[in-house]
């Protein structure tokens, strides 16, 4: 056993013993008279979150303590009654009353002071997360100082919940997970329910619905099987949202009805608010707008009664949307103004504000007030810029962009309908490929995030921007906001393309003759595509998002079944490309996809009996801006490069399978099948690079050896490996290298690690399954392809599905042979794929490979 490992175990054991001792000390060391016994019983109920049942006991104990002249204990019992009161009284008023109590002499007793802080923290969590975070940190410190270690563990969990509400996902996950683990180890069922619920709710927030259900069911089952533990309202509400996300609407409505019936008290306003809001969202998903508005309106009444600003901001926006869909525009405008006023009450919690500004912009647009609408969209986009500027990680930037992608789509629609195609293009490009664009402009290593003075200044400017009704004031604030962002301590966010993407004219300047960009924007009730070549830009109307994505999903399923469906392929062509006359006269088509189109192989679409690959070069780009940035990098790079590095971790030639697939159901590399063709593939490709080549084969193909190579000097990287696409946690998607014993790496080169690789390659080929697959957000897709572009690769070839080993080797050999013959990268891949088409093979065997980035040049 390693000494460090043994030391860690001793520390963990010591902590657990301290925590166990604290349970005994915290619950039983009291004076033993009737008032104390009543208080003990109330505390036991409260510890299990049974605050409603504890309230009359606290009231009884308070009266007895006052008769005995025990002012400190009386105050302890008095403030303990605030949590039930918070269900139907104004939260600001309760917090004001608590702070007055905190100044009393009897509040200086350590147990009473700690109890006041705890009650404050619980109420603040539902009122203002920044206040709650500070209070729970005080509780953690005081609990540790006085030996209340179990309470300290709960404080960690509450700090995590506050961090989540403030957008610090990494800290939230660490703290909530720690509190959850300790609660299970020490059999604290109430805390187990609380933090499993919080963790599950976080998963729902980021659309990991399947995983969330497992965690939430654990919380609900723990509550049901533990006597005395309160009704798991957080878990129930989050489960309703998860069922919604899975489109199990009947199940979600049934659970919400059950939840209303199970509430232990009819006046639990906060719980009623959450359930009614969830019911409204179920109806809204089904476009049952009248029923949605009715549920939202009832929920909003409870939020108003509590002065629950976060709830008013959230549900007010939803209610305004429902009224807008019903045509009640004046009423919708009143409601959204109320929601925006509530936003302004929480200057550190502005995540609803950009969406609410965009909702107001849509309402004004429908009322014919186009100029006001445009200004509101601009303010919304400025707020999103500032939220991203203060996001602690690239992952959270992606989450913000995904959640608020509807803002960009709405503004695009508004500008396009007014004929401002240049403005519409810039609106959507502010979101498309933004993470990749930032990475291309700055490869600085990201340090752990500490909130800076600049970020605090941005927060204050956000609040001014939200409140600014005068267009001139709003303009001044936006200018100051951008100026503050420009001196931010996070240099990658000072990039010009982050807040001001390239214009249409800039993009046209970077295009070559015969090239056409097709930038798709999917939405309901209509979708659009911008067609951009060197001289013109046009917008064409397309079918609704739901229709397009259903057809695209069905065609993908057909291909994965190794079948052909020319009729559906033609139908998709008719929906996506036929309306674009420029397509017919363009040789090279650059697709900037949206939504499910990220997973659609455009090369396999059919026009008049032929795959469009027969007539056109096809490539992808995360955005038009990213394409231009890649082309700007070309001239000064790779003068003295090494030529080629090839990696094949699985080279077992004894495998007898006739149909071997490069696939991974999990990231556990010991479970993966051998790939007998991968080493041969890498070696055959290497013959095209007679000098300056490096091969890592079999047991030598470890992650450590690969990362120790001078990667910045290689022109071509060819990785014939198993690939793993994690749709729940995209940063865990990985290439699977050979296992190594006692090495510094785990054999999984994950997305988060790929971003940090010092690449300057003309081409990275990921000859592995699902490398082009990732979770689809509202504006982008997170996958291995984009990670390699962020790391500095000019072009990436990747796969949209599991690859058959033998046909992949053949296709790769053809591809590289074409490159050595002097063909461009896009043409080389196209000609390699056409050999399969001419042999009559189904799209499964050739259409899975896509080429992304700047593909027009050669090696």
Q: Does 771 lie in the same domain as 726?
A: yes
Residue with tokens 């006359």: 581
For residues 589 and 523, membership in a common domain is answered with yes
Phi, psi of 450 (to 5 degrees): -125, 130
User: Token pair for residue 230?
Assistant: 């309160």
Q: What is the dihedral of CA 579, 584, 588, 592, to 10 degrees?
A: 0
- Residue 140 near residue 156, CB atoms below 8 Å: yes
Which pair of tokens denotes residue 255?
């659970």
Distance of CA 510 to the CA centre of its chain: 32
Strands 795-799 and 849-853, sheet pairing: antiparallel
Pair of tokens at residue 154: 């709960």
Mark whether 433 and 525 lie in a shared domain.
Answer: no
* 260 neighbors 275 (Cβ within 8 angstroms): yes
Residue 253 lies in a domain: no
pLDDT value of residue 661: 39
Same-domain status, 535 and 612:
yes
Helix H or strand E encompassing 606:
strand 606-607
* Residues of the chain scoring pLDDT < 50: 1-31, 443-451, 481-482, 484-499, 635-639, 651, 653-671, 770-782
pLDDT score of 31: 45
Query: Is 549 a member of any domain?
Result: yes
Q: Are 477 and 398 in contact (CB under 8 A)?
A: no
Contacting residues for 453 by C-beta, under 8 A, at least 6 apart: none
Q: To the nearest 10°, the Cα dihedral for 374, 377, 381, 383? A: 120
Element (H, E) at 518: strand 515-521
Q: Identify the three-state secondary structure at position 313.
A: helix
Co-location of 528 and 582 in the same domain:
yes
Strands 610-611, 606-607: pairing kind: antiparallel
Given the structure tokens 């508005």, which residue do they identify? 293
DSSP state of 761: -
pLDDT given at position 104 = 94
As a dihedral over the C-alpha atoms of residue 339, residue 344, residue 350, residue 351, rounded to 10 degrees, the angle is: 0
Q: Final residue of a domain: which of 626, 658, 689? A: 626
Contacts 24+ apart (CB under 8 A), 546-555: 547/575, 548/522, 548/572, 548/575, 548/576, 548/595, 548/596, 548/597, 549/522, 549/595, 549/596, 549/597, 551/575, 552/596, 552/597, 552/599, 552/600, 553/596, 555/600, 555/604
617 and 603 in contact (C-beta within 8 Å)?
no
**Any idea what the CATH number is for the domain that residue 650 is in?**
3.40.50.1460
Output the pTM of the full model.
0.68
Question: Mapped to the 3 state alphabet, what secondary structure does 636-663 carry?
Answer: CCCCCCEEEEEEECCCCCCCCCCCCEEC
Contact 301/269 with Cβ under 8 angstroms? no
Q: Is residue 713 part of a domain?
A: yes
d(CA 393, CA 383): 17
**Strand 722-724 to strand 734-736: parallel, antiparallel, or no bridges (unpaired)?**
antiparallel
Structure tokens given for 43: 């505390």
Residue 777 shares a structural domain with residue 801: yes
Q: Which two tokens stand for residue 673?
A: 């099948």
Residue where a domain terminates, one of 598, 626, 654: 626
Q: Using an 8 Å Cβ cutoff, are 770 and 801 in contact?
A: yes
Shared-domain flag, residues 462 and 566: no
| Residue 767 located in a structural domain | yes
* 49 phi, psi to nearest 5 deg: 65, 25
Q: In this structure, are 793 and 700 located in the same domain?
A: yes
What sign has the CA pseudo-torsion 505, 506, 507, 509?
Answer: positive
Q: Could you tell me the two tokens for 153?
A: 């563990």
- Any domain includes 560: yes
Q: Which residue has the tokens 């994690």?
A: 726
Q: Is residue 391 in some structural domain?
A: yes
Both structure tokens of 743: 């090495």
Q: Are 422 and 504 in contact (CB under 8 A)?
A: yes
Asked whether the beta carbons of 400 and 416 are under 8 A apart, the reply is no
Task: Confirm if 769 and 761 have CB atoms less than 8 A apart.
Answer: no
Q: At 736, give phi and psi (nearest 5°).
A: -100, 115
SS3 204: helix
Whose structure tokens read 């602690």? Answer: 392
DSSP state, residue 776: B
- Same domain assignment for residues 399 and 524: no
Provide φ and ψ at 832, rounded to 5°.
Answer: -65, -40
Q: What's the domain count of the chain? A: 3
C-alpha 426/C-alpha 424 separation (Å) is 5
Buried b (16+ CB within 10 A) or exposed e, 725-741: bbbebbbebbbbbbebe
Among 854, 709, 731, residue whose Cα is nearest residue 796? 854
d(CA 780, CA 120): 40
Same-domain check for residues 523 and 495 = no
- Which residue among 606, 626, 646 closes a domain? 626
Torsion of CA 773, 774, 778, 780, to 10 degrees: -70
Q: Residue 805 carries which DSSP code?
A: H
pLDDT in the model for residue 678? 80
Both 773 and 703 in a single domain? yes
CA–CA gap between residue 60 and residue 38 (Å, rounded): 8
Q: Please give the residue range of the domain that contains residue 573.
A: 518-626
Tokens of 794: 């000019």
Distance CA 416, CA 435 (A): 25
- Give pLDDT, residue 461: 57
Indicate whether 730 belongs to any domain. yes
Give all strands (DSSP E) within 656-732, no chain letters: 661-662, 693-697, 714-720, 722-724
One domain for residues 620 and 641:
no
Written as six digits, the tokens of 325 are: 């869909």
Structure tokens at 256: 């919400």
Q: Is residue 214 part of a domain?
A: no
């Amino acid at each position: 056993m390693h000494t460090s490992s043994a030391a860690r175990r001793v520390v963990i054991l010591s902590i657990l013993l301290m925590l166990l001792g604290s349970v005994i000390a915290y619950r039983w060391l009291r004076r033993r008279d009737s008032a104390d016994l009543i208080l003990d019983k109330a505390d036991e109920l409260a510890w299990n979150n049974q605050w409603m049942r504890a309230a009359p006991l606290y009231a009884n104990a308070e009266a007895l303590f006052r008769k005995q002249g025990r002012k400190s204990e009386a105050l302890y019992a008095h403030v303990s009654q605030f949590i039930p009161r918070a269900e139907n009284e104004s939260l600001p008023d309760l917090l004001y009353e608590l702070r007055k109590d905190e100044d009393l002499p009897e509040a200086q007793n350590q147990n009473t002071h700690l109890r006041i802080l705890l009650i404050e923290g619980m109420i603040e969590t539902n009122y203002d997360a920044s206040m709650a975070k500070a209070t729970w940190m005080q509780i953690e410190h005081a609990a540790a100082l006085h030996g209340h270690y179990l309470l300290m563990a709960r404080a960690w969990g509450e700090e995590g919940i506050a961090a989540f509400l403030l957008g610090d996902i990494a800290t939230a996950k660490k703290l909530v997970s720690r509190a959850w683990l300790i609660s299970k180890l020490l059999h604290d069922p109430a805390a187990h329910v609380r933090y499993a619920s919080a963790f599950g709710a976080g998963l729902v927030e980021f659309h990991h619905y399947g995983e969330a259900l497992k965690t939430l069911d654990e919380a609900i089952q723990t509550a049901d099987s533990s006597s005395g533990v309160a009704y798991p309202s957080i878990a129930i509400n989050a489960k309703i949202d998860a069922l919604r996300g899975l489109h199990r609407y009947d199940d979600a409505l049934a659970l919400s009805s059950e939840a209303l019936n199970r509430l232990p008290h009819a006046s639990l306003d906060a719980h009623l608010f959450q359930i009614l809001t969830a019911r409204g969202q179920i109806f809204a998903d089904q476009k049952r707008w009248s029923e949605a508005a009715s549920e939202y309106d009832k929920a909003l009444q409870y939020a108003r009664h509590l002065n629950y600003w976060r709830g008013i901001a959230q549900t007010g926006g939803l209610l305004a949307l429902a009224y807008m869909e019903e045509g009640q525009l004046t009423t919708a405008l009143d409601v959204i103004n109320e929601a925006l006023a509530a936003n302004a009450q929480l200057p550190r919690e502005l995540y609803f504000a950009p969406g609410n500004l965009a909702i107001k912009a849509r309402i004004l647009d429908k009322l014919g007030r186009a100029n006001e609408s445009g200004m509101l969209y601009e303010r919304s986009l400025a707020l999103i810029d500032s939220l991203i500027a203060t996001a602690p990680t690239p992952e959270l930037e992606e989450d913000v962009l995904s959640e608020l992608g509807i803002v960009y789509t709405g503004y695009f629609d508004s500008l396009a309908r007014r004929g401002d195609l240049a403005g519409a293009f810039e609106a959507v490009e502010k979101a498309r490929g933004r993470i990749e664009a930032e990475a291309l402009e700055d490869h600085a290593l990201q340090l752990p995030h500490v909130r800076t003075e600049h970020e605090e200044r941005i927060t204050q400017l956000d609040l001014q921007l939200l409140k600014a009704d005068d267009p001139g004031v709003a303009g001044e604030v936006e200018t100051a906001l951008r100026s503050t962002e420009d001196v931010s301590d996070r240099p990658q966010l000072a990039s010009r393309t982050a807040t001001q993407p390239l214009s249409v004219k800039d993009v046209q300047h970077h295009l070559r003759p015969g090239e056409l960009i097709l930038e798709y924007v999917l939405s309901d009730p209509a979708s659009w595509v911008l067609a951009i070549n060197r001289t013109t830009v046009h917008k064409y109307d397309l079918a609704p998002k739901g229709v397009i994505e259903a057809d695209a999903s069905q065609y993908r399923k057909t291909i994965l079944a190794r079948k052909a469906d020319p009729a559906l392929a033609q139908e998709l062509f008719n929906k996506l490309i036929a309306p674009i006359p420029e397509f017919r006269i363009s040789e090279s088509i650059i697709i900037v996809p949206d939504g499910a189109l990220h997973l659609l192989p455009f090369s396999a679409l059919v026009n008049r009996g032929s795959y469009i690959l027969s007539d056109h070069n096809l490539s992808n780009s995360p955005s038009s801006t990213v394409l231009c940035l890649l082309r700007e990098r070309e001239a000064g790079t790779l003068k003295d490069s090494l030529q080629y590095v090839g990696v094949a971790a699985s080279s077992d030639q004894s495998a007898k399978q006739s149909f071997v697939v490069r696939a991974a159901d999990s990231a556990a590399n010991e479970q993966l099948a051998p790939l007998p063709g991968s080493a041969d593939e890498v070696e055959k490709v290497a013959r095209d690079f007679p000098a300056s080549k490096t091969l890592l084969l079999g047991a030598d193909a470890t992650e450590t050896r690969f990362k120790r190579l001078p990667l910045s000097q290689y022109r071509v990287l060819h990785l014939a490996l198993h690939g793993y696409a994690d749709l729940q946690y995209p940063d865990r998607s990985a290439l699977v290298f050979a296992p190594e014993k006692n090495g510094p790496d785990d054999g999984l080169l994950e997305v988060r690690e790929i971003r940090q690789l010092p690449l300057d390659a003309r081409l990275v080929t990921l000859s592995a399954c699902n490398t082009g697959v990732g979770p689809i957000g509202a504006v982008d897709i997170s996958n291995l392809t984009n990670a390699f572009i962020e790391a500095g690769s000019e072009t990436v070839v990747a796969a949209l599905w599991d690859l058959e080993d033998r046909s992949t080797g053949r296709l790769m050999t053809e591809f590289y042979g074409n490159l050595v013959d002097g063909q461009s990268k896009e043409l080389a891949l196209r000609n390699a794929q056409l050999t399969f088409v001419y042999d009559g093979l189904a799209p499964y065997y050739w259409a899975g490979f896509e080429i992304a980035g700047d593909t027009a040049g050669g090696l």
